[in-house]
Amino acid sequence: MEKTLVLIKPDAMVKELAGHIITDLYKTGLRMIGLKLVNIQRELAEQHYSEHREKPFFEELIKHITGELHNQENVIAIVYEGEDAVKKVRELAGKTHPEEASTKTIRGKYGRMHSKTNCFENVIHASDSPESAEREIKLWFEDKEIID
């Protein structure tokens, strides 16, 4: 069974969208096997987004995901499991740029550009491959926190 990691990012948390997003994610038909609220520190953020370390948006991205842009909000981390879990969640998440994302997607519905930076307030993270999902789930969850 494939697993995938979803993070409900601080922009969604300040807008009190967590419930709506989880309701939307039920449409995938996937099974939720782990969920927690995390006060994410810089070290975990940098490990999570290590592939983007050299990108011009990296510093803003870290400020976003650690809650610095949104008054230190936390994130909700969720693991889903099921057939084609990665693809199903990526499709429902929508395009990375919130203004290019279809309004039928989570990012299209709830995302926007941050008002003072070029940061994409794109509401959720979703793993982009089964390999990324495995790496990310290990970073965010201990084995005992996943229900089998």
Question: Is residue 57 part of the contact set for ligand CDP (CB under 6 A)?
Answer: yes
Query: SS3 of 120, please?
Result: strand
Provide the phi-psi class of 18: left if phi over 0, else alpha when psi is between -120 and 50, else beta: alpha
| Nearest residue to Mg ion, by Cβ distance, number only | 128
Residue of 120, 133, 136, 140 interacting with ligand CDP (CB under 6 A): 120
Q: Tell me, what amino acid is at 109?
A: K
Among ligand CDP, Mg ion, none, partner that 140 touches (CB below 5 to 8 angstroms by kind): none
In angstroms, the Cα distances linking 24 to 6, 62, 109, 110, 124 are: 12, 26, 11, 11, 12
The distance of closest approach from Cβ of residue 78 to ligand CDP in the complex, given in angstroms and rounded to an integer, is 15
Nearer to Mg ion, 115 or 118 (CB): 118
Q: What are the residue ranges of helices labelled H in the chain?
A: 10-14, 18-25, 42-48, 58-65, 85-93, 106-110, 130-140
CB of 148 to Mg ion, least distance (A): 26
Residues 104-143 that bind Mg ion (CB under 5 A): 128
Considering only 46, 68, 91, 128, the residue that binds ligand CDP (CB under 6 A) is 128
Does 96 engage in binding with ligand CDP (CB under 6 A)? yes
Query: Closer to ligand CDP at the Cβ: 57 or 112?
Result: 57
Catalytic residues: 125
Residues 6+ apart with CB under 8 A from 88: 28, 29, 30, 82
